Amino acid sequence: MTKYTPAEIIAGGIQDTRESFADLYVELHELRQEAAYYYHRAFVDDGPEPQQEGAVDFHPSPPAFGGKDLEWPARRVRLDRLTQKGLALYVHGVCTALQERDELLRQIQDAEHDIERTVIAMDGTIAQIVNRHLRYMTVLERRTKNESESAPLTPWDVPIRQPGTDQYLPPHP
């Protein structure tokens, strides 16, 4: 009879369940790549080179970053050889993987939202807001400049009615 450690049983439940939603990892990766491309187009570069449509420059990680070790897959767990306690551990691994799936779905929604915001930025919405703000700043600057300078006094050239009477002041020559 094959004996499994509790860690192997939990890892087996996680691994078997992850295989059912492996496509979510691919989808999340593609969405992040698309979001990075749109962000680059919106905020870094005006437009891509014609031969690089849809591609962002590759920037490798620094040498001390790590990531060179391979993860050893867990040994396959045969469910027909598990006791009741072993099955409970396997179910615990499945529940852990399902929580991971829920987190992946949330990250996919966030990535889609980021893409929408970046596409809005690319459409010129941010440019319009900035232009509107700059126009407001120039008008405000002009107003404050005009308020600080006193307007020259000029005599009026139309007759002015005195309040409460029917009499008019003569125009100023």
**What single string gives the DSSP state of each residue in 120-163?**
HHHTTHHHHHHHHHHHHHHHHHHHHHHHHSPPPP----S-EEPT
Cα angle 84-85-86, degrees, rounded to a multiple of 5: 90
User: Which residues 6+ apart lie within 8 Å of 149 measured at CB?
Assistant: none
pLDDT value for 100: 93
Asked whether the beta carbons of 111 and 32 are under 8 A apart, the reply is: yes
The rounded Cα 60 to chain-centroid distance in angstroms is 22
pLDDT value for 142: 82
pLDDT value for 143: 79
User: Which residues 6+ apart lie within 8 Å of 79 measured at CB?
Assistant: 87, 90
The rounded Cα 23 to chain-centroid distance in angstroms is 22
pLDDT value for 81: 84
Could you tell me which of 74, 97, 71, 73 has the C-alpha nearest to residue 5?
A: 74
pLDDT in tens, 94-121: 999 999 999 999 999 999 998 888 777 7
Q: What is the pTM of this model?
A: 0.55
Separation CA 140–CA 133 (nearest Å): 10
pLDDT value for 122: 73
pLDDT value for 95: 94
Ranges of residues in the chain whose predicted pLDDT is under 50: 47-48
pLDDT value for 106: 95
pLDDT value for 91: 92
